[in-house]
Structure 1
Amino acid sequence: MFIEVNDTTSLRQIQEVFSDFYPYLKLAFYGKGHKKYQASNEGGEIEPNTLIGEIKATHVSGVIEMLPLYKVADVEKEFQQRFGLSVQVLRKEKKGWEQTTGMDDFTLKELNELGRNSSDEFIMNEDVRNDLEY
């Protein structure tokens, strides 16, 4: 998967392309970076409709590639190094999204699968609960 990044790209556009390929993962953008295995500041998330040109100090356009075997830490690092964007990969966890702290050495494929399994288990549990109520 390739994502074009330039000053007129919104964070939401990047998120949507990413989520099309990894439906159980999500990218969140923050005002401050984080170190490997650390969480990003919950209150520091940047609004998804923000354009890249509004938040970047350097105005470099490019294309970022994210293959299934790329590690989470490498994806986050590449966004930071190439585009000056602080990114956190989030994983679907039952009804919400969870930061992937401690999972930076997982591949996108592995993490997406974990999110899928979590969501499938929740759906199955919901179906079982609904059956028990009747």
Structure 2
Amino acid sequence: MQAILHISPSKYVYELQQEFSSIFPHLRLEFYRRPGNEAAAAAKQLIPKTMLFRDLGVMETAAVESGDEITVAVLEGFFLKKFGILAQVVRQSGTVWLETTMTDDWTLFQQNEHGRELSGGFHLSKDPAQEILSKHKWCDQ
């Protein structure tokens, strides 16, 4: 599937994140402030979803392909090279979200499919204990 993400100064971070997640429902796109030095790199600061890209230094409209054949590394590299913004793709794994740093050479399609497989059919009710108990016959006696 070919998909284009559009970035503009007047777009909010959450709007781009929603576009990305509508294409790849088992992936999320997170943005972090670029650390000033290597010592600060370990403590990445998440950019708020309600921030405008203008406030992150984006002064022009741009588009990035985010289709099935694009790798995580290419997408993340685009944001860093074009805008100086650290982007991180995270993949769903059950009820948690994991950074894809060890598999950045995978395509977005591969990442999304792996997230789907890891999360397939996994759903917790409001009361997880009751859901587990209801699956056992001895609970009905």
Q: Normalised by the shorter chain, which TM-score bucket?
A: 0.7 to 0.9
Aligned to 2:55: 54
Rounded Cα–Cα distance in structure 1 between residues aligned with 2:24 and 2:11: 20
CA shift at 1:123, angstroms?
Answer: 4.0
Q: CA deviation at 1:25?
A: 0.2
Moved more, 61-70 or 42-51: 42-51
What TM-score do you get using the length of structure 1 for normalisation?
A: 0.83
Distance 1:43 1:81, change over 3 A: closer
Structure 1, unaligned runs of 5 or more: 34-39
**SS of the counterpart of 2:135?**
helix
1:40-92 C-alpha deviation (Å, 9 max, x unpaired):
75651111110000111x52221111111111000000111122221000000
* Alignment-derived partner of residue 38 in structure 2: none
Structure 1 residue ranges (4+ consecutive) displaced by more than 4 angstroms after TM superposition: 40-43
Within 5 A, what are the aligned runs for 1:38-117? 41=42, 44-56=45-57, 59-117=59-117
Percent identity among equivalent residues?
26
* Residue 12 (structure 2) aligns with: 10
Please give the alpha-carbon distance, in whole angstroms, between the structure 1 residues aligned to 2:91 and 2:32.
16
TM norm structure 2: 0.79
Question: What root-mean-square deviation, in Å, do the aligned CA atoms of Structure 1 and Structure 2 show?
Answer: 2.2
The 1:118/1:30 distance shift into structure 2, 3 A limit, reads: same
Unaligned runs of 5+ in 2: 36-40
Secondary structure of 2:28's aligned partner: strand
- Find the structure with the greater CA-based Rg: 2
Does the aligned pair in 2 maintain the 1:60–1:83 contact within 8 Å?
Answer: no
Asked if structure 1 preserves the Cα contact closer than 8 Å seen for 2:33 and 2:44, the reply is no
